Amino acid sequence: MKLLHIDSSISGPNSVTRSLTRQIVEQQRAAHPDLQVEYLDLASQAPGPLSLDALGFRLPPSAESLTDVQRRENEVSEALVTQLISADVVVIGAPLYNFTIPAQLKAWLDRVAQGGRTFKYTENGPVGLLGEKTVILALSRGGVYSTSDAGNAMEHQESYLKTIFGFMGVTDFRVVRAEGMDMGPESRERGLAQAQEDILALAA
């Protein structure tokens, strides 16, 4: 069994999501002694944003048709999508930045959302190809968004991640959510306590 552990927070040791993903991975190791874990820190290892040269994976595969820059960019995308496809479980730490996910995580998603690899188009529409995977999202938010219609409308973190992974065929989502992190000590304590309950529920 393989697990891909992804962090995207830029907050280093102060990151809530990094702490949550570590706990989740430790829990998974305890449940699966033979677990193989690969780690990707997008704060330091993020691919470049999608560009014309980085669209090499969408061009004809003939080596002669790609420039040296396109070939290098294609190698980056190929390594990332192969790593994702080989994982049985994906644990993603994603803080809420300006109502959405970190740019580094978006850059990774742009590289792995590949037609013919993680989804395909058919005469009946798109079909996701990652349906056998479990995706565990470890989310943090400065405010509280999940308890009101207005908050849900502003939140493009959990909703976006579920949408794009759902497009790629994933149906088994587990969510660990720490909200109210910047709303004072009591709110932070409540949010972290809820996240701990969410982590315990993963093992149920």
Q: Is 15 labeled as ligand-binding?
A: no
Q: How far apart are CA 156 and CA 18, in angstroms?
A: 20
Q: Is 140 labeled as ligand-binding?
A: yes
Q: Is 142 labeled as ligand-binding?
A: yes
At how many degrees (to 10) do helices 103-112 and 68-86 cross? Answer: 90
Residue 7 and residue 93 in contact, taking contact as beta carbons nearer than 8 Å: yes
Element (H, E) at 94: strand 89-95
Q: Is 44 labeled as ligand-binding?
A: no
To which residue do tokens 């697990």 refer? 3
At how many degrees (to 10) do helices 185-202 and 16-31 cross? Answer: 20
Three-state DSSP class for 40? strand
Q: Is 141 labeled as ligand-binding?
A: yes
Residue 128 and residue 166 in contact, taking contact as beta carbons nearer than 8 Å: yes
Residues within the annotated binding site for FMN?
Answer: 9, 140-143
Residues within the annotated binding site?
Answer: 9, 140-143
